[in-house]
Structure 1
Amino acid sequence: MSKSLLIISRQAPWSGPGAREALDIALAGGAFDLPVGLLFLDDGVFQLSGAQQPGNLQQKDLSANLQALPMFGVEALYASQRSLDERGLRNHASSLAVECLDDSSISALIDRYDQVITL
């Protein structure tokens, strides 16, 4: 039986390679039928914002990678409600179906996975 993997993405899409690396790991795990979950936490919730203009910062757009997650079997997508609220993204317009979790639910989520990677 394969071990489950939770990836916690904490970086904004424009702050460095962490956001892209988290998505790449999730897509690779899904491609190998590994049970993968992805949690957007802290500035990582900015990845869910639909109105990004990465070209202004000479960055690549992550939206294609995000949209590919379900095609690779990565459907367990979560976001911290506290992180969304703190960043003014309470009613975020995201094309991804994410489950918003409070802090205690996030702790329970982490406990359910065999391996956890934070980027």
Structure 2
Amino acid sequence: MPKSLLIISRQAPWAGPGAKEALDIVLAGGAFDLPVALLFMDDGIFQLLANQNAAAIQQKNLTANLQALSMFGVDDLYACSHSLSERGILPAGLAVDDVQSLPVEDVRALIDRYDQVITL
């Protein structure tokens, strides 16, 4: 049985390569049928916002990659509700529909469900 993998994405999409690298790992895991999930925390929450102008900072828009995750078999997407509220973001305003808002108290239990955890 393949090991399960949780990626925790904590970087804003414009803060460096971490956000894109997290998505690349998730997409690769999904392509190889690895049980994989993605948790957005801290400034990683900003990846989920709609209408980002990535071209203004000469970066690639990650929204299309996020919306393609289900095509790669990645259906377990989570956003830390505390991180959302700290940044004044409502779950209804996210660019990706299938993100589950997760109370900060439940993050530890989520992490414990996976064999491997990578934080970027």
Q: What's the TM-score bracket when you normalise by the shorter of the two chains? A: over 0.9
Q: Letter of the aligned partner of 2:39 in structure 1?
A: L
Say if 1:95 and 1:101 are closer, same or farther in 2 by CA, change over 3 A. same
Identity among equivalent pairs (%)? 66
Alignment partner of 1:105 is 2:106: yes
Aligned residue in 2 for 1:116? 117
For normalisation by structure 2, the TM-score amounts to 0.96
Q: How does 1:75-114 map to 2 (within 5 A)?
A: 75-96=75-96, 97-114=98-115
Gaps of 5+ in 1: none
Say if 1:91 and 1:76 are closer, same or farther in 2 by CA, change over 3 A. closer
For normalisation by structure 1, the TM-score amounts to 0.96
CA RMSD after TM alignment: 0.9
Report runs of 4+ in structure 1 exceeding 4 Å deviation.
none
Aligned residue in 1 for 2:14? 14
Aligned residue in 2 for 1:69? 69
Q: What SS does the aligned partner of 1:59 have?
A: coil
Answer yes or no: is the 8 Å Cα contact 1:10–1:19 preserved in 2: yes
Displacement, 1:92? 4.7
Q: What SS does the aligned partner of 2:23 have?
A: helix
Gaps of 5+ in 2: none
Displacement, 1:91? 4.2
The number of residues matched between the two structures is 119
